[in-house]
Amino acid sequence: MIKVGIVGGTGYTGVELLRLLAQHPDAEVAVITSRSESGVRVADMYPNLRGHYDQLAFSVPDSASLGACDVVFFATPHGVAHALAGELLAAGTRVIDLSADFRLQDADEWARWYGQAHGAPDLLPQAVYGLPEVNREQIRSARLIAVPGCYPTATQLGFLPLLEAGLADPTRLIADCKSGVSGAGRAAKVGSLFCEAGESLMAYSVKGHRHLPEISQGLRRAVGGEVGLTFVPHLTPMIRGIHSTLYATVADRAVDLQALYEERYRDEPFVDVMPAGSHPETRSVRGANVCRIAVHRPQGGDLVVVLAVIDNLVKGASGQAVQNMNILFGLDERLGLSSPAMLP
Amino acid sequence: MIKVGIVGGTGYTGVELLRLLAQHPDAEVAVITSRSESGVRVADMYPNLRGHYDQLAFSVPDSASLGACDVVFFATPHGVAHALAGELLAAGTRVIDLSADFRLQDADEWARWYGQAHGAPDLLPQAVYGLPEVNREQIRSARLIAVPGCYPTATQLGFLPLLEAGLADPTRLIADCKSGVSGAGRAAKVGSLFCEAGESLMAYSVKGHRHLPEISQGLRRAVGGEVGLTFVPHLTPMIRGIHSTLYATVADRAVDLQALYEERYRDEPFVDVMPAGSHPETRSVRGANVCRIAVHRPQGGDLVVVLAVIDNLVKGASGQAVQNMNILFGLDERLGLSSPAMLP
Amino acid sequence: MIKVGIVGGTGYTGVELLRLLAQHPDAEVAVITSRSESGVRVADMYPNLRGHYDQLAFSVPDSASLGACDVVFFATPHGVAHALAGELLAAGTRVIDLSADFRLQDADEWARWYGQAHGAPDLLPQAVYGLPEVNREQIRSARLIAVPGCYPTATQLGFLPLLEAGLADPTRLIADCKSGVSGAGRAAKVGSLFCEAGESLMAYSVKGHRHLPEISQGLRRAVGGEVGLTFVPHLTPMIRGIHSTLYATVADRAVDLQALYEERYRDEPFVDVMPAGSHPETRSVRGANVCRIAVHRPQGGDLVVVLAVIDNLVKGASGQAVQNMNILFGLDERLGLSSPAMLP
Amino acid sequence: MIKVGIVGGTGYTGVELLRLLAQHPDAEVAVITSRSESGVRVADMYPNLRGHYDQLAFSVPDSASLGACDVVFFATPHGVAHALAGELLAAGTRVIDLSADFRLQDADEWARWYGQAHGAPDLLPQAVYGLPEVNREQIRSARLIAVPGCYPTATQLGFLPLLEAGLADPTRLIADCKSGVSGAGRAAKVGSLFCEAGESLMAYSVKGHRHLPEISQGLRRAVGGEVGLTFVPHLTPMIRGIHSTLYATVADRAVDLQALYEERYRDEPFVDVMPAGSHPETRSVRGANVCRIAVHRPQGGDLVVVLAVIDNLVKGASGQAVQNMNILFGLDERLGLSSPAMLP
């Protein structure tokens, strides 16, 4: 039984970790921390967990109790894992960070996008980017895993087959992405209110979003060179879900894109290439650790359109974190992650 | 392994049965029927099921293949189970009917509310009303189970402790109930359109709703006499969920209602009496086979207010059906039903 | 042209006042105040107002500029109008308060429910409760108007015909009310987030809500004596709308309730008694200053069910405030308020 | 007073015409037709219209009564206006068609996309495409107006300044468009159900949508040559609203795009170029006849991103139809269309 700690468990990725781990046969949450809710039982804060975790309460973060865990998940705002990860790693605890702290390999780039100095640049060399479809082998032996962001997961999985095969012009990539509101977290912000985000749709951060450098880094790895990516995120009136609509120029009109995608993901348990002509719905992955993808070439032109959907809280955060844990501990990658999506 | 058949699996209770049974260790769906979708794979119709049931396709209803199942669920409009249940029972197959066909013990009353003659009155004596919190023992040995309706489940579970204890005036009961739109099913009706049911709320069927006689029948059993119930259902802009707000007159102001409710449901795995002062949210049971209840006595008066929430597709339909199956086959009642609700 | 001031215009009742007054031929907004947004143009904060009010900006509250207005609306949290109304009244400016500050005639009762001393008890004798369907004559000559709350508007309009006619037992009244989320205002509270209030429904404040004494005060006036009211508000996943489902015991089963309601509201421009058997939808009043009502007697019993819907931001707040202004200034009561509701 | 007829008034564009015309000082609806609802009063079908149009009822389409109108709006599925427009035009009645029947100038292209022969190719030469921002002069003297589709309105208004100025590469245009569900109309289709379209998002018709040739036709006119457009529509969980996110390659990085857009639309009453850096929300135009646009050049590259929002039922249909009527009859273009959008 893997002894699990969670730092910062009061947000949506925290409660989602608890939901998923409640169904995991080989993991047990021993510690969950929150400064603001210390002493509160998780089932009192999240009534969906009543009947599960009835004894588990939030505690003040404490190195001793966290260091006694086999693995600690950080479900925190950026900056927190920087401060605590080193000590835990030194204690032999593995760290799976759901925040952005270790996603960018370049500390200076991180500092530019997050507006503060990187707090643990010395740990970067050992940080593994936790996208199993790319880095499964490195994950197996990792000590510190950076779980990819939600937009980056859907967008990379959608672009990778084209880029790895050298088929798309890497300088003209567009990702038009649509997210549910839970991507903004549980913080009490006016823009996330029901009456502000409901019955409306808007683009945001067109000038530049923090997930842009993360996606670009992953795409550069795939092409082995520079990429030109335009990334436009949109806020849409649903709770969960990301829909990435990806545009790439593929000059070779003869290539069988459907076969390419099916082949690339043939052995991936959590990537589903849908039949040709499909339009994946975000609800088809609601609550499930799956990315569903469809690839189109409208009117037979040179512009290829890829549609990729995930649940931002599952494959885009907590589910992918559990998937990483399973790989890390040599378990069946699907443990605790095999429930179908909930529809309707 | 229990061999399961499903008649009429294209609606929401059908796909929800499939979702729940995918997580059940001891049951396997062998047959699923639909006249209109015959030949279509369930995962093509419901993409959330891709990766599960990849070989299962809808077939035309057929007595031989259904009769070879250990149990057959009817997820059909009313009238269908009347026509088919007898033959299956004769073949030794157990029948769990999610429709209204066998819920009312009185065939004439059924005919008045459903506007057609009862099609199988001879089967009524052996039909067991599948509310485990009331009829668990009869369910164990049943051959034919009528799964309670969604409103009736929440409303009966909310009223029963008061009525069984003889505390409430049975002639002055009010159930003000709010349902999500999935209660209206997957039929293409104008009133269920996103642009008709969204961003709006309305009462309906105030004159008389078909669940009224079902609820009254259950409450009569609890009090051992007649009851006077006013039932007002409302359509609300959410997909899943029922919230029953119940009003009863309890003259004895000294009785400890919280203790009464906790005691009544102490051993029930799927009824959660929340702490005094709670306000259960429907989302706290989304996707889960749970009824959460809170009991209030505002301003210390003689009017008691009970709040009861369920997911209409789970404890109000398919989950309760699986719970009945578990009891019927002597399994742990919680098998396949232990996942927490999904929040947010 | 009436010169209008608005105090505290950054919330939903403020922007709704601006929307309605933009269509008013005889009123002009001269001043709008907000401490936090001072200097910001209203059209920059509320882009729906671009092309209207392009020069109007929030200013710090200032007695001189407000006192130069013919009328000042308070769209503020409780307590603010207490502090400022006296000075404005002394300057000859009329005050229309959308907050709760002057709704209760009894300062002690106000203090109990709002948890602080009443800040202007000396003004209470001149405060007129701005429900035109009850107090139209007093409103004509008022200096200080307390605009009714949202729940109280729908609930009183629904109950009044029964109570004024002495038909209902005043000791056994129930108001089961459902509100959209905008009733909670634009404050950044976790409970009002899209991911908290969406796809869910819950009762709240069952123990006692601040609108209870306001409703009771109005009903007492109608019956000329004490009333017993149980009021249960619910938060529902829509932006605008209140649906009051009202229960009253009417022993006389021969009375023609439909005629009673139609007669009571025959000359009211903003109360619509729907045909017998109707179920009003909240969307049928979205954006409009109308209360639609239907009256039912299910199964011919002694329990009468009244359904009353309003838009909480219009007839439940800003629209009713403008209606009061029209009466106060001797205008056609319907000026600026005649647009149909927006459906879908 | 303009005497107005409406053919096919039971859908969403029909009820929206009625809502807008109720506020129009110089127009009066004399006839409204529907075969299926003949004899039903419009206010009985659409309760938001109670108190307006209380005498107006649907009638069977009849050339005499329609031909007695000054103008007839067609709010019908495609094909209907083909059959009736000629006769009305011969009677001297002007025709404003909200359907697709006269939008494409090429009858063969129409036939290919709509799967049936064009029913009135002889009328095409006199049909004017009713986008006032392009064709205002022709509209003034038109007899037959084809009101643009919803996606085409937002997409053309967003692209036109770039294309008319010859700045963008016309062969590499992308329109990633998001629509509310009301765009699918009031027909009872499974895909438009609350439980199907709610809490989900999907692309559709990626292979080719009927609005593609209409948009292309408009863009060709702007550039005076061929264009290459990829158009991907998405269904999003809101009732009203279209958000077009447009991508164009603009090699000249020195051009002041903000000034270009402001200049192009300086005198347009219903196009609002927002300040640089803005992200228009669809709710900022809900119920209003406005298109709001923002233009971005992320990271200073050669890819320009234009954001354009409209209410699909107003500027994308019925509002634009009224705007055309105003121009046609020499009225102030803004009559009946000046109410601010409703927010929240």
pLDDT in tens, C173-204: 999 999 999 999 999 999 999 999 999 999 99
Q: Looking at beta carbons, which residues of chain D come within 8 Å of C272?
A: 50-51
Q: Model confidence at C212, in pLDDT bands (50, 70, 90)?
A: very high
The answer to whether residues A21 and A336 touch, using CB atoms and an 8 Å cutoff, is yes
Answer yes or no: do C15 and C114 share one domain.
yes
pLDDT for B119-146, tens place per residue? 999 999 999 999 999 999 999 999 999 9
Answer yes or no: do A185 and A293 share one domain.
yes
Answer yes or no: do B214 and B243 share one domain.
yes
Alpha-carbon dihedral angle through residues D164, D168, D171, D177, given to the nearest 10 degrees: -90
pLDDT for A187-232, tens place per residue? 999 999 999 999 999 999 999 999 999 999 999 999 999 999 999 9
Determine which of A192, A195, A313 to mutate to test the interface with C (most C C-beta atoms within 10 Å).
A195
What is the average pLDDT value for chain D, to the nearest integer?
97
User: Residue B215 in 3-state DSSP?
Assistant: helix
User: Residue C261 in 3-state DSSP?
Assistant: helix
Q: What is the mean pLDDT of residues B269-283?
A: 98
Q: Give the span between the Cα atoms of D209 and D223, in whole angstroms.
A: 22
User: Residue B2 in 3-state DSSP?
Assistant: strand
Whether ipTM exceeds 0.90: yes
Q: B96 has which bridge partners?
A: B73, B145
Helix (H) or strand (E) holding A273: strand A271-273
Say yes or no for a CB contact (<8 Å) between D199 and A305: no
pLDDT for C1-52, tens place per residue? 999 999 998 999 999 999 999 999 999 999 999 999 999 999 999 999 999 9
| Cβ count within 10 A of residue D149 | 25
- In D, residues 15-74, which contact B (CB 8 Å cutoff)? none
User: Residue A299 in 3-state DSSP?
Assistant: helix
Q: Give the span between the Cα atoms of B319 and B98, in whole angstroms.
A: 10
**Per the domain annotation, does B342 fall within a domain?**
no
Q: B215 has which bridge partners?
A: none
Answer yes or no: do A192 and A90 share one domain.
no
To the nearest whole Å, the CA of A23 is away from the closest chain D CA by 24
What's D266's domain CATH number? 3.30.360.10
User: Residue D204 in 3-state DSSP?
Assistant: coil
Closest partner CB to D239 (pick from B181, B188, B198):
B198
Q: Which two tokens stand for residue A133?
A: 């479809």
Say yes or no for a CB contact (<8 Å) between D284 and C15: no
Q: Where are the alpha helices (DSSP H) in A95-149?
A: 107-114, 132-140
Quote the pLDDT of residue B9.
86
Closest partner CB to B237 (pick from C174, C237, C279):
C237
The answer to whether residues C125 and C159 touch, using CB atoms and an 8 Å cutoff, is no
| Cβ count within 10 A of residue D64 | 8
Answer yes or no: do A175 and A304 share one domain.
yes
What is the average pLDDT value for chain C, to the nearest integer?
97
Q: Looking at beta carbons, which residues of chain D come within 8 Å of A238?
A: 198-201, 237
Answer yes or no: do D113 and D160 share one domain.
no
Answer yes or no: do B99 and B44 share one domain.
yes
**Per the domain annotation, does B341 fall within a domain?**
no
Which residue is closest to A19 within chain B, CA to CA? B340
Pairing of β C173-179 and β C242-249? antiparallel
Q: Which two tokens stand for residue C314?
A: 């219009």
D199 in contact with chain A, both atoms CB, cutoff 8 A: yes
Quote the pLDDT of residue C210.
96
Quote the pLDDT of residue C289.
98
Residue A297 has pLDDT above 90, yes or no: yes
**Please, is C125 exposed, middle or buried when counting C-beta atoms within 10 Å of its C-beta (0-12, 13-18, 19+)?**
exposed
**Per the domain annotation, does B72 fall within a domain?**
yes
Q: Looking at beta carbons, which residues of chain A come within 8 Å of D305?
A: 203, 206, 230, 232
**Per the domain annotation, does B343 fall within a domain?**
no
Answer yes or no: do A63 and A180 share one domain.
no
Which residue is closest to B181 within chain C, CA to CA? C199
Quote the pLDDT of residue C321.
98
- Cα angle value C230/C232/C235 (rounded, 5°): 170
Q: Looking at beta carbons, which residues of chain B come within 8 Å of D192?
A: 193-195
A234 in contact with chain D, both atoms CB, cutoff 8 A: yes
Pairing of β A303-310 and β A291-296? antiparallel
Q: What is the mean pLDDT of residues B325-341?
A: 98
Quote the pLDDT of residue A185.
96
Answer yes or no: do D52 and D113 share one domain.
yes
Say yes or no for a CB contact (<8 Å) between C47 and D182: no
Split into its structural domains, chain A has a count of 2
**Per the domain annotation, does A335 fall within a domain?**
no
Quote the pLDDT of residue A25.
97
Determine which of A46, A50, A283 to mutate to test the interface with B (most B C-beta atoms within 10 Å).
A50
Q: What is the mean pLDDT of residues D205-217?
A: 97
To the nearest whole Å, the CA of C218 is away from the closest chain D CA by 27
Quote the pLDDT of residue C300.
86
Say yes or no for a CB contact (<8 Å) between C192 and A189: no
To the nearest whole Å, the CA of D6 is away from the closest chain A CA by 29
pLDDT for B77-91, tens place per residue? 999 999 999 999 999
With a CB cutoff of 8 Å and minimum separation 6, the contacts of D307 are A203, A206, D158, D243, D244, D245, D246, D278, D279, D280, D293, D294, D295, D296
**Per the domain annotation, does A110 fall within a domain?**
yes
| Cβ count within 10 A of residue A325 | 28
R_g over Cα of chain C: 20
Q: What is the mean pLDDT of residues C65-89?
A: 97
* Residues of B labelled as active-site residues: 150
Closest partner CB to D298 (pick from A195, A207, A238):
A207
Pairing of β A229-235 and β A202-203? antiparallel
Which residue is closest to B284 within chain C, CA to CA? C200
Residue A260 has pLDDT above 90, yes or no: yes
Quote the pLDDT of residue B299.
86
Answer yes or no: do B120 and B205 share one domain.
no
Answer yes or no: do B156 and B292 share one domain.
yes
Answer yes or no: do B161 and B300 share one domain.
yes
pLDDT for D260-274, tens place per residue? 999 999 999 999 999
Residue C299 has pLDDT above 90, yes or no: no
* Percent of chain B with pLDDT strictly greater than 90: 99
Quote the pLDDT of residue D65.
96
Determine which of B13, B40, B181, B195 to mutate to test the interface with D (most D C-beta atoms within 10 Å).
B195
* Percent of chain C with pLDDT strictly greater than 70: 100
Q: Give the span between the Cα atoms of B44 and A273, in whole angstroms.
A: 13
Q: What is the mean pLDDT of residues B50-73?
A: 96
Q: How far from B289 is each of A289, B5, B25, B329, B341, CA to CA, in Å? A: 22, 21, 17, 18, 8
Quote the pLDDT of residue A49.
97
Q: What is the mean pLDDT of residues A108-129?
A: 98
Quote the pLDDT of residue A300.
86
Residue A298 has pLDDT above 90, yes or no: yes
Instruction: List the one residue out of D118, D73, D119 whose CA is nearest residue D97.
Output: D73
| Cβ count within 10 A of residue A63 | 13
What's A95's domain CATH number? 3.40.50.720
Determine which of D285, D289, D292, D343 to mutate to test the interface with C (most C C-beta atoms within 10 Å).
D343
Q: Looking at beta carbons, which residues of chain C come within 8 Å of D12?
A: 344
Q: Which two tokens stand for residue A197?
A: 């985000």
Closest partner CB to C202 (pick from B176, B200, B280):
B280
Counting one residue from A and one from D, how many pairs have CB atoms under 8 Å apart?
142
**Per the domain annotation, does D285 fall within a domain?**
yes
Q: Model confidence at A9, in pLDDT bands (50, 70, 90)?
A: confident
Helix (H) or strand (E) holding C273: strand C271-273
**Per the domain annotation, does A111 fall within a domain?**
yes
- Answer with the one of A129, A164, A186 that is the final residue of a domain: A129
Containing structural domain, residue D88: 2-129
